[in-house]
A and B are shown apart, each in its own frame.
Chain A
């Protein structure tokens, strides 16, 4: 059974940088892309970006380009999302999800979400 476990909530000041993690188990890490999705309070889902853990290739959404970095550690089967220059609008739940490389782009398994709060 695939499991996606994310790190705990973070509180940061404006301008700071945050790094959250996503550990996946129960399948071959390199068979999936790892995605991050933002959900602001009371709002919908917004795609942040993805990484191919096999070679480290990334694709970022235009809205987050330049501020987000996604990396993967294959030895621990853990992906990380770093978001810099934080502002109040970044306050949101951030979900990690897996996408089978051989599939049609569906986010099959989701983590429980990590709440990032940006406040002075």
Chain B
């Protein structure tokens, strides 16, 4: 199973960043999103499509339908600059876990 992400997204502070994750019928999967800042381990920011772990700001939200899942970061801050990865558990086929290639979000 292949997940497709854009390599990079640029956004000005205060604006909205939209990161897509494409996959065949991805709307049937639970999609999770991770933020990885330079030199740090990944952190889960959205799970199961649109839920946030405790401590993650409401500015982070997700949607998932059809062939595209989306992570939206509202009111972007300089501290949001990071790589973002989508991920699914391919429970329909070989039980493997799959990551997208990652999207570098640059805050201008």
How far, in angstroms, from A87 to B99 measured CA to CA in the complex? Answer: 23
Q: Range of interface residues on chain A?
A: 20 to 34
Given A104-B32, A104-B47, verify A111-B99 contact (CB < 8 Å).
Answer: no
Chain B hits for A35, CB < 8 A: 97
**Which residues B58-108 have CB closer than 8 A to chain A?**
83, 85, 87-89, 91, 94-102
**Which residues B24-46 have CB closer than 8 A to chain A?**
30, 32, 34, 36, 41-44
How far, in angstroms, from A112 to B47 measured CA to CA in the complex? Answer: 21
How far, in angstroms, from A83 to B36 measured CA to CA in the complex? Answer: 25
The verdict on A25 contacting chain B, using a C-beta distance below 8 Å, is no
- How many A-B residue pairs lie within 8 Å, measured between CB atoms? 65
Closest residue of chain A to B83 (Cβ to Cβ) is A44
Given A107-B87, A110-B41, verify A44-B47 contact (CB < 8 Å).
Answer: no
Given A105-B32, A110-B43, verify A59-B85 contact (CB < 8 Å).
Answer: no
Report yes or no: B42 in contact with A106, Cβ–Cβ below 8 A.
no
The verdict on A45 contacting chain B, using a C-beta distance below 8 Å, is yes
Chain B hits for A61, CB < 8 A: 96-97
Chain B hits for A107, CB < 8 A: 32, 34, 42, 44, 87, 97
Report yes or no: A59 in contact with B47, Cβ–Cβ below 8 A.
no
Chain B hits for A47, CB < 8 A: 96-99
Report yes or no: A105 in contact with B91, Cβ–Cβ below 8 A.
yes
Report yes or no: B88 in contact with A45, Cβ–Cβ below 8 A.
no
A56 to chain B, nearest CB (A): 16
How far, in angstroms, from A104 to B28 measured CA to CA in the complex? Answer: 12
Chain A hits for B83, CB < 8 A: 44
**Which residues A41-100 have CB closer than 8 A to chain B?**
44-47, 50, 59, 61-62, 95
Residues of B within 8 A of A (CB): 30, 32, 34, 36, 41-44, 47-48, 53, 83, 85, 87-89, 91, 94-102
In the A-B complex, the 6 residue pairs with the smallest Cβ-Cβ separation, listed nearest first, are A105-B89, A104-B30, A106-B47, A106-B32, A47-B97, A44-B102
5 contacts between A and B (CB under 8 A): A44-B102, A45-B34, A61-B97, A104-B48, A106-B47
